[in-house]
Amino acid sequence: MPAARKCCRTAGEGHGRTARVYVTEESDSGILPMNHSNKDGKPLAESEEGRPLIKENACQPNTYPTQSEKGVSQGLAGVRKAARENKERKFTALLHHLTVDLLRESFYSLKRKAAPGVDGVTWQEYETGLEDRLVDLHGRVHRGAYRAMPSRRVYIEKEDGRKRPLGVAALEDKIVQQAVVTILNQIYEEDFLGFSYGFRPGRSQHQALDALSYALLRKKVNYVLDADIRGFFDNLDKSWMIKFVEHRVADPRILRLIQKWLNAGVMEEGKWSETKTGTPQGSVITPLTQKVISNLRG
């Protein structure tokens, strides 16, 4: 089996209130990383680190901007540090972190061969004249002139014969969504629970299997529960989802962007329809919203 890397961190690096499971920062290579060792020689899934409760200053207000007293942006690393140090902090100034550089990184993180949305624009077509396109997109987002386009509805076959609806977003929507996810991850990666693995940066299903395998082999396990929420994305209450996000995010411009995506609707066979509930499966932002709801601790 592959040797563990020397650099390890707690799962999700979120300094939460529960014990965390050590994982490596390996890519999803298709190899189950069983019984890796950390610096103490223990299996990664075995080592746990207790986290003390964070003592909050009751006299401090609960809303802060993500800037220093001198008005200089601390950058995304500063956002993550602030989120780690104060679990009750609400971030009021986040959109300025959405820069042309971040939009460029977001564009190149997208799948090159993904199907186009209702705009019909492919990744390769958008790359032509990319810098001018990104400068224009950046300006529209910050002026409030950016408009989300409806998702193109497609269906994929499920194992039981039913069809799962997917929403294919327009390319520019994917770019802005990816940028917003990168910003919000700095906050929520500090809040997410240690045993949460789905759709998180630096994590994979193999690391989840590693932790599960250790628990089954080394711990006293009486039963395993395999559960799924039927139609979770299709029936998600949009207003409640925004309320969950507002526990940590108080930048109205970020919230408006999320609401634009939620209210953009879907296009199916050339006909637009409003989605009163739910969020399209397949979008860049959807997994983050699911994690926010499932991991939020009151």
Q: What is the pLDDT of residues 150-190, one digit of tens each?
A: 999 888 887 777 787 788 899 999 999 999 999 999 998 88
pTM of the model as a whole: 0.69
Region 88-95: mean pLDDT is 94
Evaluate if residue 125 carries a pLDDT over 70. Answer: yes
Residue 24: closest CA among 14, 16, 34? 34
Region 73-92: mean pLDDT is 89
Evaluate if residue 50 carries a pLDDT over 60. Answer: no
- In this structure, of 54-63, 108-117, 184-193, the range with the lowest mean pLDDT score is 54-63
Cβ proximity of 288 and 191 under 8 Å: no
Evaluate if residue 15 carries a pLDDT over 70. Answer: no
Cβ proximity of 93 and 64 under 8 Å: no
Edge-to-edge strand list for the sheet holding 163-168: 163-168, 151-157, 266-268, 271-273
User: Residue 176: what pLDDT?
Assistant: 96
Is residue 236 helix, strand or coil?
coil
Evaluate if residue 40 carries a pLDDT over 90. Answer: no
- CA angle (279, 280, 284) in 5-degree steps: 100
CA atoms of 52 and 88, how far apart (whole Å): 16
Region 262-279: mean pLDDT is 81
Q: What pLDDT digit, counting tens, does each position of 128-151 carry?
A: 999 999 999 999 999 999 999 999
- pLDDT category at 120 given cuts 50, 70, 90 is very high
Residue 47: closest CA among 210, 191, 205? 210
User: Residue 60: what pLDDT?
Assistant: 35
The residue behind tokens 């999803």 is 28
CA atoms of 50 and 38, how far apart (whole Å): 16
Evaluate if residue 92 carries a pLDDT over 70. Answer: yes
Non-local (6+) Cβ contacts of 290 within 8 A are 198, 199, 232, 233
Region 284-289: mean pLDDT is 66
| Residue 164 one-letter amino acid | R
Cβ proximity of 117 and 153 under 8 Å: no
User: Residue 276: what pLDDT?
Assistant: 74
For the chain, give the mean pLDDT.
74
Q: What pLDDT digit, counting tens, does each position of 193-233 carry?
A: 888 887 788 888 899 899 889 889 998 888 888 888 777 77
User: Residue 158: what pLDDT?
Assistant: 77
User: Residue 173: what pLDDT?
Assistant: 95
Evaluate if residue 42 carries a pLDDT over 70. Answer: no
Evaluate if residue 99 carries a pLDDT over 90. Answer: yes
